[in-house]
Structure 1
Amino acid sequence: MKTGNTKKNVLRASLLLALPWYGIASAQEATPEAKKAEEAKQEATKVETVVVTAERRSRPLQTSPISATVLTGDDLVNKGINNVDQLMFVTPSATVNNFGQGIDFNIRGIGKGEHNSQTTTGVVTYRDGVATFPGYFTGEPYYDIATIEILRGPQGTFVGQNATGGAVFVTTNDPIIGGGYTGYAQAQLGNYRDYGFQGALNIPLGETLAARIAFNTENHDSFYDISGPYTGTDARMRTQSARIGLHWQPTSAFSVLFKTDYSHLDFGAYPADPVNATNDPFNLTANADLKAVDRVVRSVLTLDYQFANGIKLRSVSGYQDGTTAYRSDLDGTSTGNSTFRDVVDERIYSQEVNLISPNTGWLKWIVGAYWQKDTLTFPPKEFVIGVPPGSPLSEYVLDGTNPKKTSAVFGKVGFDLTNRLELELGGRYTKSTTANDVNVVQYGLPLKQVQEAEYTNFSGKAALNFQLDNRNFLYAFAASGFRPGGLNVPVGLGIPPPFDEEKVNSYEAGWKSIWLDGKFRAQLTAFHNDYKNFQVIVGYPTFPTFGFELNVPGTTKISGFEAQLQANFDDWKFDAGLGVMRSNLGRFYAVDPRGASTVPCDPNTGPESAACRNLEGTDQTYAPDLTFNFGVQREFRWGEDIITPRLNYGHVSQQWATLFQNEARGDRIGSRNILNAQLAWLHKGYLVTLYGTNLTDQTYVTAINSGLRFVGPPRQYGVRLATSF
């Protein structure tokens, strides 16, 4: 065969393959049966339409002026996600730094950077519509999940809590009226003697009422080898969770949805060693009692009533009660003698009421009100730092209460200026109070604090949305967010002043598109944040021997770019996310609280010295320059059986744990590169999955706190057996 003919044949074959790809019809008309089969195949290979519900109104993600990642319950299983820690490996610009009893969750470099009950979070997590605990109880597992929506940028301007960094909406599966007896069951067995069970059952209770019961339990041995004369547990895990839901719909206009869940989460311990230790972090020593147990109860009542004109009245009521108990070796070795222990009770009541217009017509709106009371209680003799323990002269002891209240009114309206151009305007007024009624014995010095602070704010959003055509959507907005301030605990220098609220002004533009007849979807976003009053703990300005929380006086600049892609080509599926970010701290002079100094250091003027550092221009904490994730799977079919291998990879580049960026003190958190994989076999209603997480067995630091390093889980692998009915 001549070379020229070969090239012509290849070109001809390529063109023939390209014709159906771009939707060009052939000259010969297909039979009706063939056309139906082809249409069904094309429909099956389209990327599923994703809907966001975070603003109390269902709307397709591709036509929403918001940057978000939406995951279904199946997505969580396919990507190996069962708790909040792993979300950073599947969404751009997110970092989760978990130090056991608390968490620093940041999106676009904004969220939470300090570890105390007075510092609220800028990334609010909702479960079934109610804002949850802002720091504690982060280990609640994901099971029987409908969707998880990860929203980037200021949120809560119109519903729920206000937020500066973003929000995560976790929605569990509702009972289905008329759904019959349906559900699923799953068993898991893995290394570290890991075994777990979970499942759910939908129960019909009549023509207007249904219930759903779900449960989850998992146990595994410790990842750690702890030597030394320590007592307590060694980080083996024993967790149990259950949920009951009731859905009643007596008429088409009125429905009642009630869910209550309980979790008993015994993680054994949160082992950690000094941040600059050279040993394997899974082989460490300790000589203190170790403990880590959380108990959580949550109940949510949602009432919906739709008037004859289509307006919906919604009420979301929440009650949450949790107790966390933690004991640790504060110096992280068996040679030191510093310990920490606490028991903290937290109780939250919340109420939200919305009036929501129909989702049709040229004018769409929502108005509402929100209220929350969050009380933390520190029982006597349960919050103790011992250096060493055992004597009032060498212990720091705290007890008392920290009640916080939030109330807000909000509204949003959307105008269709043309059939393609929409203007959205919204605003929110928030009032927050926080109080301390605590007793402190600071190494023999008794201190009393009865103090209250109040913060008010108006935040808003203005967006222009343009539907370029049925495949391309453009948007741009300016929005603001707010996080309240808080109180400093006294250190013997009188009652310290409160720290102020944080504010962020955010500017974002995005392009969302659908290509190849729905097989490919993309989101591209550019953003810039002016971040004011960043809350940070530094040396006390007038006497830096003690730590003190205050605000960065200058404006921090954070800018970036994000991209998300989803593709479904016959048996192949792909998804990817990219986040690129740069940050520069505003004007700020401060003393590192880890180093003793008696020289005053004014945050605005310094003066600069070896101890009083000028931090302007440094990177924002927990703001990695690059985040990236990628997933691919391929379905192979043999008769009725389907075999699906899948790979998932997530990268979070290095980040700083403090503004002082002192590598000698271990402030740099290294990059994380996590590779997960699974091989699933679907056979006659049963799904068998071989899974592996952190396949490269990377040892990575997941948080730095109190001079200790906390590491993420090592390589895990095993098998799951699941069936639905």
Structure 2
Amino acid sequence: MNLSSQATVGVLALAVCIAQPARAEAPTEVAAKSANDGLGEIIVTAQKRTERLQDVPVAVTALSAASLTSKGVDTVSDLAMVTPGLVFPSVGIGGSPRIRGIGTQISNGGNENSVATYVDGVYYPAAGGNVLTFNNIQQVAVLKGPQGTLFGRNATGGLIQITTRDPGQQFEGNAKVGYGNHNTVSGSAYLAGGISSALAADIAINYKNQQDGFGKNLFNGKDVGTSESFSARTKWKAKLGDATTATIIADYSRNKGSFPGYRPVPNQVSLLGTTFTGGKFDVNSDIQPMTDSEDYGVSLNLTHEFSSVKLVSISAYRHGDWKFNFDSDSLPAPILSANGTVPDRMFSQELQLLSTAKGPFGWVAGLYYFNRKSGYTPGQLVAPALGFIEDLTSHQNTESFAGFGQATYKITADTSITAGLRLTTETKSFAGVGVFHSLSPAFNAPLGPTADSQKVTKLTWRASVDHHFNQDVMVYASYNRGFKSGGYDAPSVAVASYFRPEVLDAFEAGLKSEFLDRHLRVNGAAYYYDFKDIQLNTYVNGLPAIYNGKSAKNYGFDFDVAAVPVAGLTLTAGVAYVHGRFDDFQVAQTAALATGGIAQVGNISAKGKRLPNTPDWTVNLGIEYNVPIGSTNLLLSGDYFHSSEWFAAPENRTRQPAYSLVNGSAKLSFANDKFSLMVWGRNLGNVAYASQLFNQVPVADVVYYAEGRTFGVTLGAKF
């Protein structure tokens, strides 16, 4: 079945049901607070239906649009500042979120993240398109722990659930313009309203151009860290009768720039023992690093309500291309570099049937189809100083079918049990070919061609029990199994390098509680994770590869607290502890420094070593103070984030020391909130910390530093 015919099937999936409308369910943070201005009630769709956050037996952190703005959360990667247990390393326009130590360090078109990203019910598989910019957002929810029953494959760590605003009949809009350091200009706009009594639409656009870099390439004097991005999204929502609604969403984004690039890690492995003497945000590379991505997609949501059930169809198509060029050796010499294009095409179709009748028994059942075509073409590994160039082309196809169901039964007025199953069948196929070009034509040789296919069937599940002591205090316990897809290393064309699916069993106990007439909220959870065939990223002879470790254990806890001690003042705090260690992993490649700092390659056992990119401790603190002054309002906001040390790879040799970040803003709203002026700053301490660390054995240990201090001003208007 080709993609065009799949899309046709998806569009027609509910044609027989188009008769009358249903109100679409959308998560939100209820604006109405208690009479004495406590914390607002939060509504989420963590279980495919609208529920109070405090009633959901899942660890969830949810943020409204207002909270995202005041806390300076502009992109998905910024969520780590305000979400206990979430870290979000990013490189260029791609990112690899990790929740409770579970994530993916390298994404090369052959694998997917362990933390899934969903936007309006649609799965975004490509890492190159998951560092999304927020604009017309209604809510962002971070679900922690495996979500395999309702959300399926590649949600072993959890998922990031983004819900955009629905357009209404009332005409409304807003616009913002901003300017910041590094000669950064930005602007956004949102416009919504009714077109007819049965049709409403909106459009949101966002533009940002950082014209000066926050570092220099010492080799050629050019800036690194410049970027330019544009995104647009439109949503059209129509009533097709008394019980049926149709929502069409289309989006487009383009991100390009000279991302900061890699630089050698001080006092660690580097090629030929070279050292780096530039500033902390500088690089010294014969390659000017660049990235350029283009993504767009369209989805159709059809919803029909019967007397006691609701039927939902979500059809989606996504198209992405990511181009890159970077210097693998991080040195001012033509030793080893890589460039290429990562194409990505995806179609998905989901059917959901949900119970809506009141009573002790509630359920959801569904079918899911997923088809993805990705690759690495054309790609080049360039090593003129070593006397060769490799031309690489590979393609990987994924086709997945799943059926799922989950039911909750109230065994008493205060106690409920939940059970769910999902059966997934997935086929991965791979084809690759390449050419090895030597300085001597006599040594030129083909690489491949090679082809392979693997089919797996996995059963995942959820079982939980929850008990309400009263309306404000609930405890729960759950057992979940999730799995992450296997796949092929996209740059590997001489041999089909298949890595097996990763399986995770998760045991969790949690608390949801509110006190003092909703002036204090305390939510937390403790968990124990058991991995089988854990997927790990490493380097073999300087090239990225994905391995299966045998097993690992993970346990810890996370909690978050929110309080309103006095009117207008909101305090938040979160702490996460992760104890992640390998049980058995014998192929962790490492290197030691010999005379002159030259790498000597060897393998060790990683048993007892810490999981990569996983700090033991993270801490989040926040404060917001709202001061009304007549028709003017002043909102002061500050956030603090602390991470303990973490390591780059399974052998725990290269590390990022502990660090702390501080963000802050002051927003003045006047003319009854029609106009606003906000002054903001991020990473106010100008801390140089690694967003990513790579052990590119034996070429070099390299670091990709996150952006330093940024600050600016934003003007806003509403109408």
TM-score when normalising by structure 2: 0.87
| Unaligned ranges ≥5, structure 2 | 1-31, 267-275, 438-443, 594-599
> 8 Å contact 1:124–1:134 — kept in the other structure?
no
Q: Which residue of 2 aligns with 1:428?
A: 422
Query: What residue number does 2:502 align with?
Result: 502
Deviations 1:282-307 (A, max 9, x none): 22222224321111102111110000
Question: 2:228 is matched by which residue type in structure 1?
Answer: R
> Deviation at 1:41?
8.5
- Take 2:492 and 2:39, find their aligned partners in 1: how far apart are those partners? 57
**What is the distance in 2 between the residues matched to 1:118 and 1:275?**
27
Structure 2 matches for 1:183-202, cutoff 5 A?
Answer: 183-202=173-192
| 1:351-430 matches, cutoff 5 A | 351-358=349-356, 360-379=358-377, 382-388=378-384, 394-430=388-424
In the alignment, what sits opposite 1:286? 285
| Equivalence for 2:14 | none
Give the Cα–Cα distance (whole angstroms) in 2 for the partners of residues 469 and 237 of structure 1: 51
Residue pairs, 1:91-106, within 5 angstroms:
91-100=83-92, 102-106=94-98
Could you say which residue in structure 2 is the equivalent of 1:342? 340
Q: Which deviations, in whole Å up to 9, do the C-alpha atoms of 1:355-376 show, x marking residues without a partner?
A: 0001631000000011111111
Q: Which one of 192, 198, 208 corresponds to residue 208 of structure 1?
A: 198
Cα distance in 2 between the residues matched to 1:692 and 1:411: 46
Query: What letter matches 2:635 in structure 1?
Result: T
Tell me how large the CA RMSD over aligned residues is. Answer: 2.4
Partner of 2:687: 698
Q: How does 1:59-458 map to 2 (within 5 A)?
A: 59-100=51-92, 102-176=94-168, 178=169, 180-228=170-218, 230=220, 234-276=224-266, 277=276, 279-307=278-306, 309-358=307-356, 360-379=358-377, 382-388=378-384, 394-442=388-436, 444-447=444-447, 448-458=449-459
Other-structure match for 1:585: 582
Q: How far apart in 1 are the matches of 2:474 and 2:358?
A: 18
Q: Tell me the secondary structure at the aligned position of residue 45 of structure 1.
A: coil
Provide the residue aligned with 1:32 in structure 2.
none
Give the deviation of 1:497 after TM superposition.
5.8
TM-fit CA distance, 1:119: 2.5
Instruction: Identify the residue that residue 643 of structure 1 maps to in structure 2.
Output: 634
Please name the residue that 2:521 is paired with: 521
Q: Matched residues in 2 for 1:169 and 1:359: separation?
A: 26
**C-alpha distance in 2 between matches for 1:263 and 1:269:** 17
| Distance verdict in 2 for CA 1:356–1:224, change over 3 Å | same
- The answer to whether 1:573 aligns with 2:570 is yes
Q: Which residue of 1 aligns with 2:11?
A: none
Matched AA of 2:642 = H
TM-score normalised per structure 1: 0.87
1:151, 1:718 → 2: CA distance?
32
Identify which of 667, 670, 674 aligns with 1:680. Answer: 667
Q: Structure 1, residues 409-468: CA drift from partner, whole Å, max 9, x if none? A: 100011110111101000100112211111122454312111111221101010001011
Structure 1 or 2, whichever has the larger Rg, is: 1
Taking the aligned partners of 1:594 and 1:249, their CA distance within structure 2 comes to 63
Q: Secondary structure at the match of 2:429?
A: strand
Letter in 2 for 1:299: V
Cα deviation per residue 1:320-370 (whole Å; 9 max; x = unaligned)?
A: 101111112222232453221111211110111000001631000000011
Is the 1:560–1:579 contact (alpha carbons within 8 Å) kept by the matching residues of 2? yes
Give, as a single letter, the amino acid of the residue that structure 2 aligns with 1:511: L
Alignment-mate amino acid for residue 633 of structure 1: E
What is aligned with 1:619? 610
Q: Is the 8 A contact 2:287 2:337 kept in 1?
A: yes
- C-alpha separation in 1, matches of 2:218 and 2:664: 36
3-state SS in 1 of match to 2:129? coil
Secondary structure, aligned partner of 2:69 = helix
1:552-590 CA distance string (max 9 Å, x none): 12x311111111111223111111211011122112212
Matched residues in 2 for 1:66 and 1:560: separation? Answer: 15
1:114 touches 1:536 (CA, 8 Å); kept in 2? no
Shift of 1:397: 1.8
Give the Cα–Cα distance (whole angstroms) in 2 for the partners of residues 591 and 571 of structure 1. Answer: 52
Q: Which moved more, 1:556-565 or 1:224-233?
A: 224-233
Deviates more, 1:212-221 or 1:629-638: 629-638
Question: How many Å separate the matches in 2 of 1:432 and 1:621?
Answer: 28
Task: Say if 1:633 and 1:644, in contact at 8 Å, map to a contact too.
Answer: yes
1:512 is matched with 512
CA contact (8 A) 2:465 2:476 kept: yes
When residues 96 and 190 of structure 1 are mapped into structure 2, their CA distance, relative to the original with a 3 A threshold, is: same
The residue aligned with 2:26 is: none
Question: Shift of the alpha carbon at 1:697?
Answer: 0.9
Asked if 1:708 corresponds to 2:702, the answer is: yes
For residues 531 and 520 of structure 1, do their structure 2 counterparts lie closer, same or farther at Cα, with a shift above 3 Å needed?
same
Structure 1 residue 162: deviation in Å? 4.6
Give the 5 Å matches for 1:482-561: 482-488=483-489, 495=495, 498-537=498-537, 549-553=546-550, 555-561=551-557
1:592-671 residue pairs with structure 2 within 5 A? 592=589, 611-662=602-653, 667-671=654-658
435 and 270 in structure 1: CA distance in 2 versus 1, 3 angstrom threshold: farther
Percentage of pairs with the same residue:
24
- Tell me the CA shift for residue 81 of structure 1: 1.0
Contact 1:131 1:160 in 2 (8 A): no
Q: 1:538 to 1:650 in 2, by over 3 A?
A: closer
**Cα-to-partner distance string for 1:371-400 (whole Å, 9 max, x where unaligned):** 111111433xx31111128x9x51122113
Which residue number corresponds to residue 6 of structure 1? none
SS, match of residue 151 in structure 2 = coil
Whole-Å separation in 1 of the counterparts to 2:182 and 2:633: 29
Q: Alpha carbons of 1:359 and 1:702: their partners in 2 closer, same or farther (altered >3 Å)?
A: farther
Q: Distance in 1 between matches of 2:561 and 2:641?
A: 14
Contact 1:258 1:299 in 2 (8 A): yes
Preserved contact between residue 650 and residue 673 of structure 1 (Cα < 8 Å): yes
Q: How many residue pairs align between the two structures?
A: 659
For residues 198-232 of structure 1, give each alpha carbon's deviation from its aligned partner in whole angstroms, at most 9, with x where no partner exists: 11111211111011011000111233342455598
User: Looking at both structures, which has the greater relative contact order when contacts are Cα pairs under 8 Å and sequence separation is at least 6?
Assistant: 2
CA distance in 2, matches of 1:347, 1:44: 51
